[in-house]
Amino acid sequence: MPRYRLTLEYDGRGFVGWQRQASGLSVQQALEEAVAAFCGERVTAVAAGRTDAGVHALAQVAHVDLARDFPPERVMGALNAHLRPHPVAVLEARRAGPGFHARFSATERRYLYRILNRRAPPALERGRVWHVIRPLDAERMQEAASLLVGRHDFTSFRDSQCQAASPLKTLRRLHVRRCGEIVEIHAAARSFLHHQVRNMVGTLVLVGGGRRPIAWVAEVLAARDRSRAGPTAPAEGLYFAGVGYDA
């Protein structure tokens, strides 16, 4: 049974997230229904990382197992044709190597958070950025972000509903940069706690806006108390940006 590795992009608005839910349309459901429409097979699509409602993807990776061996370009074309009613696109389809698993083979997951930092509200970017009016100092945010890089107990940035066995995570990268009116925050780790990226972003925005000192972030991390950190940044600014796999 051939396994196909798919790279997807999607607009998270209108979806309940990646994973199937009791009510509402998920990205997983849309993809599985596209496979059924293409070849009549009922499959379970497995993703490298589950995204919440409203979160977007630039390069989500998923796999599906099909009974028949189709050329990858045909799989890509057919799925995109059947996905057309939804804001989901298959950017690439290829046969997966032996033992490949979209989730368990991943060695790194990357996220991008985008903040529109200006007084005027977004028009073209509505639903795709967090609009923050207060001027943000990206350099201060970067200094604060550097305090979070490494292996730490991230309880202070963990959602109360997180099901991870341990709050210990190794944050490989947390980089802040300004591109005109957009402040970008890039994060990379093997895995993240639920809402970890959004909680870190909400904390960094307090520093960037001058409401908290840079050293406060280290105090929040050491406290291991979610109530000490900043607010959870909105879902619409978050993008699943990519996945790393061993060669």
Q: How many CB atoms lie within 10 A of CB 4?
A: 24
Question: Are the C-beta atoms of residues 59 and 242 closer than 8 Å to each other?
Answer: yes
Decide if 159 is catalytic: no
Are 60 and 240 a contacting pair, CB within 8 Å?
Answer: yes
Helices (H) and strands (E) in the chain, counts: 5, 10
- What is the C-alpha to C-alpha distance for residues 184 and 191, in angstroms, rounded to an integer? 20
Q: Which of 137, 156, 143 is nearest to 205 (CA)?
A: 137
Q: What angle do CA 131, 207, 205 make, to 5 degrees?
A: 20
**Of 11, 52, 65, 153, which residue is the catalytic one?**
52
Active site residues per annotation: 52
